[in-house]
């Protein structure tokens, strides 16, 4: 039966890229001689993408209407059941509640923004082209997609190098195959009980952070007898597991009912879990600041958009509704699976007694801080990840900073990111005022004694804003950082404090106490949905106990 045309059409007249998302802007027009349509014409319509030569459908993420103007959001790299749009011509289809089809056309005035360079984006694993086109068969607006995988490198390397690479590849695939076989055997032999919880991390040697908070609170509430707690940790993602842990891992993954993790965990993405297994990502960072995960597609170190990394989480937590779309994009999951519970490790920031106990413990551990103004210098790392992380120590004039500390009767505590292996060397004559404290795992503990935090692109701003104390942002490489990592929101508008670009500016700001501290309260109100210290309980009640129907 031929399709019946709706009384209105959509004319796309502008395109806009935002990381992995393509926005189609346009106007609703009458398809015949009728009146100009408004929002009611499009309300309730089924809007989707359809490959021109097949019945394959992909979702359109959002439809927004204002008068006769519309915006359609296409999450290009997640639109096809969580995967990218594949090679083909994808028509934009609009079907009204009455079953009529509204034509979608391209305005002759459409300007096409470049996607990467000249519409091409290099992604890990290949190159990805996307251009708007007019489908010749029906004159309809469409998106033409071409994805080409990278060809294997070869030809120039010596025979021993190629042979070594082949052997390493075969060994890696053999290990993965053995792991998957072990997992499947365990699934057949072990019956899940509904009460086993696995706490695991591939970047922590022992349980800590959000995982520790959830475990301890479940103990306090008397659930350890009812639930079985399992633990499996690894100091860093690049480390080898002990043999005993290699044997335990497939069993734990096959038999666990709930898996709690707090970071990238590559093994979890290689197996197929049963639908009733909960995989809850208690991400170690608070809030959405610098881009992570799939938000970095096309950036240095960004993931292959066709990979399964992160996409099997049943839930991920965030600190506010404001951050839900950012984390859904980063993990390649539906926004319904991102829950604004608050962050467990932030509960203690609302506990005055805990804050004072921890502050006293830090003063005992760092006696130079007692009775003095404390400046915490805590930047994030540069580089792609754990294997090449660094910080530009030569940007720091330690003698000048020492002189300022003496002038103000202050101490400066340095806490570098855990990925940064090269230590900051402080000359022996300066250690009474400059303290290297990177060995302290939890930066949150140091925040309680800090009167001022100097950072750059670190998510610790979310925790520290709860204390309503000033921050200073030493962003000496902002343009480079935007080019390689980028942010979810404009940096200058986002950060709750003054931005300085040189070390001299930083010293001047400290002397003048010019931190633009008035931005902190508004930042906290926007990014922290709950100010009650009960995030851990919400996770337990809604995501763990709620899963069991309690």
Tokens of 289: 């600041």
Q: Do 220 and 336 reside in the same domain of the chain?
A: yes
Confidence band, pLDDT 50/70/90 cuts, at residue 121: low
Show which of 83, 114, 149 is a domain's final residue: 149
Confidence band, pLDDT 50/70/90 cuts, at residue 172: confident
Confidence band, pLDDT 50/70/90 cuts, at residue 32: low
Residue 182 lies in a domain: yes
Q: Do 258 and 370 reside in the same domain of the chain?
A: no
Count Cα atoms within 13 angstroms, Cβ side, for 124. 14
Residue 125 lies in a domain: yes
Tokens of 282: 């208690």
Residue 164 lies in a domain: no
Q: Do 201 and 53 reside in the same domain of the chain?
A: no
pLDDT single digits (tens) 243-265: 899 899 999 999 999 999 999 99
Q: What is the pLDDT of residue 113?
A: 60
Q: Do 394 and 333 reside in the same domain of the chain?
A: no
Q: What is the pLDDT of residue 227?
A: 96
Residue 154 lies in a domain: no
Least confident stretch, 30-44, 91-105, 113-127: 113-127
Least confident stretch, 61-65, 230-234, 495-499: 61-65
Q: Do 327 and 420 reside in the same domain of the chain?
A: no
Q: Which of 546, 63, 59, 82 is nearest to 339 (CA)?
A: 546
**Which residues lie below 8 Å from residue 422, measured CB to CB, with a gap of 6+?**
390, 391, 393
Q: For the whole model, what pTM was predicted?
A: 0.82
Domain housing 265: 171-346+535-548
Q: What is the pLDDT of residue 515?
A: 96
Q: How many C-beta neighbours within 10 Å does residue 401 have?
A: 23
Q: Do 214 and 307 reside in the same domain of the chain?
A: yes
Confidence band, pLDDT 50/70/90 cuts, at residue 168: confident
**Which residues lie below 8 Å from residue 56, measured CB to CB, with a gap of 6+?**
50, 80, 88
Residue 187 lies in a domain: yes
pLDDT single digits (tens) 393-433: 999 999 999 999 999 999 999 999 888 888 899 999 999 99
Q: Do 339 and 451 reside in the same domain of the chain?
A: no
Confidence band, pLDDT 50/70/90 cuts, at residue 148: confident
Q: Do 356 and 309 reside in the same domain of the chain?
A: no
Q: Over range 157-178, report the average pLDDT.
A: 80
Q: What is the pLDDT of residue 154?
A: 52
Residue 2 lies in a domain: no
Confidence band, pLDDT 50/70/90 cuts, at residue 112: low
The CA–CA distances, whole Å, from 532 to 286, 334, 346, 523, 548 equal: 16, 27, 10, 17, 25
Q: Do 184 and 132 reside in the same domain of the chain?
A: no
Q: How many C-beta neighbours within 10 Å does residue 357 have?
A: 13
Q: Do 334 and 414 reside in the same domain of the chain?
A: no
Show which of 149, 183, 211 is a domain's final residue: 149
Show which of 149, 181, 216 is a domain's final residue: 149
Distance of alpha carbon 508 from alpha carbon 535, whole angstroms: 39
**Which residues lie below 8 Å from residue 217, measured CB to CB, with a gap of 6+?**
344, 536, 537, 540
Q: Which of 549, 550, 548 is nearest to 192 (CA)?
A: 548
Number of domains forming the structure of the chain: 3
pLDDT single digits (tens) 48-81: 999 988 889 999 988 888 888 999 999 999 999 8
Per-residue pLDDT at 131 exceeds 60 = yes
Residue 373: which CATH number?
A: 3.40.50.12580
Q: Which of 326, 317, 321, 316 is nearest to 291 (CA)?
A: 326
Residue 131 lies in a domain: yes
Q: Do 371 and 227 reside in the same domain of the chain?
A: no
Residue 504 lies in a domain: yes
Confidence band, pLDDT 50/70/90 cuts, at residue 548: very low
Q: What is the pLDDT of residue 396?
A: 95
Confidence band, pLDDT 50/70/90 cuts, at residue 300: confident
Per-residue pLDDT at 31 exceeds 90 = no
Angle between helices 159-189 and 243-255 (to 10 degrees): 50
Q: What is the pLDDT of residue 164?
A: 79
Residue 192: which CATH number?
A: 3.40.50.11820
Q: Do 477 and 426 reside in the same domain of the chain?
A: yes
């Amino acid at each position: 039966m031929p399709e019946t045309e709706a009384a209105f059409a959509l004319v796309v007249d502008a395109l806009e890229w935002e990381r992995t998302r393509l926005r189609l802007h346009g106007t609703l027009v009458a398809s015949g001689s009728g009146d100009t349509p408004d929002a009611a014409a499009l309300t309730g319509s089924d809007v989707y993408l359809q490959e021109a030569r097949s019945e394959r459908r992909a979702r359109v993420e959002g439809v927004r209407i204002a008068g006769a103007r519309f915006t359609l959001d296409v999450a290009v790299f997640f639109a096809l059941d969580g995967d990218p749009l594949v090679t083909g011509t994808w028509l934009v289809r609009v079907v009204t509640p009455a079953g009529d089809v509204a034509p979608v056309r391209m305005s002759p005035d459409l300007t096409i923004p470049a996607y990467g360079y000249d519409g091409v984006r290099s992604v890990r694993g290949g190159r990805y082209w996307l251009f708007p086109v007019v489908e010749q068969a029906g004159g309809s607006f469409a998106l033409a997609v071409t994805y080409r995988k990278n060809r294997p490198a070869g030809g120039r390397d010596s025979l021993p190098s190629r042979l070594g690479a082949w052997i390493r590849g075969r060994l890696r695939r053999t290990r993965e195959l053995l792991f998957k076989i072990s997992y499947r055997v365990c699934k057949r032999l072990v019956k899940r009980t509904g009460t086993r919880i696995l706490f695991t991390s591939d970047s922590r040697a022992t349980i800590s952070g959000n995982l520790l908070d959830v475990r301890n609170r479940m103990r306090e509430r008397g659930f350890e007898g009812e639930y079985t707690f399992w633990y499996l940790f690894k100091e860093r993602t690049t480390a080898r597991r002990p043999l005993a842990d290699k044997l335990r891992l497939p069993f734990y993954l096959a038999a666990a009912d709930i898996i709690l993790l707090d970071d990238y965990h590559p093994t979890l993405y290689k197996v197929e879990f049963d639908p009733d297994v909960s995989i809850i990502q208690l991400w170690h960072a608070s809030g959405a600041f610098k881009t992570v995960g799939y938000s970095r597609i096309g950036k240095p170190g960004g993931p292959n958009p066709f990979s399964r990394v992160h996409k099997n989480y049943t839930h991920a937590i965030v600190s506010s509704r404001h951050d839900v779309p950012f984390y859904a994009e980063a993990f390649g999951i539906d926004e319904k699976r991102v829950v604004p519970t608050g962050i467990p490790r932030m509960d203690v920031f609302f506990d005055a007694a805990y804050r004072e106990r921890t502050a006293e413990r830090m003063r005992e551990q760092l006696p130079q801080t007692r009775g003095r103004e404390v400046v915490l210098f805590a930047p994030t790392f540069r580089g792609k990840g754990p294997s090449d992380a660094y910080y530009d120590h030569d940007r720091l004039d330690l003698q000048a900073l020492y002189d300022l500390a003496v002038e103000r009767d202050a101490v400066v505590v340095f806490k570098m990111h855990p990925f940064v292996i090269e230590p900051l060397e402080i000359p022996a004559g300066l250690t009474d005022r400059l303290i290297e404290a990177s060995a302290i795992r939890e930066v949150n503990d140091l925040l309680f004694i800090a009167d001022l935090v100097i950072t750059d692109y670190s998510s610790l701003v979310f925790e520290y804003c709860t204390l309503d104390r000033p921050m200073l942002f030493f962003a000496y490489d902002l343009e480079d950082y935007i080019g390689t990592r980028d942010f979810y929101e404009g940096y200058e508008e986002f950060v709750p404090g003054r931005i300085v670009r040189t070390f001299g500016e930083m010293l001047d700001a400290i002397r003048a106490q010019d931190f633009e501290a008035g931005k902190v309260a508004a930042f906290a109100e926007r990014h922290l949905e709950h100010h009650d210290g009960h995030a851990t309980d919400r996770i337990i009640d809604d995501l763990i106990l709620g899963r069991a129907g309690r």
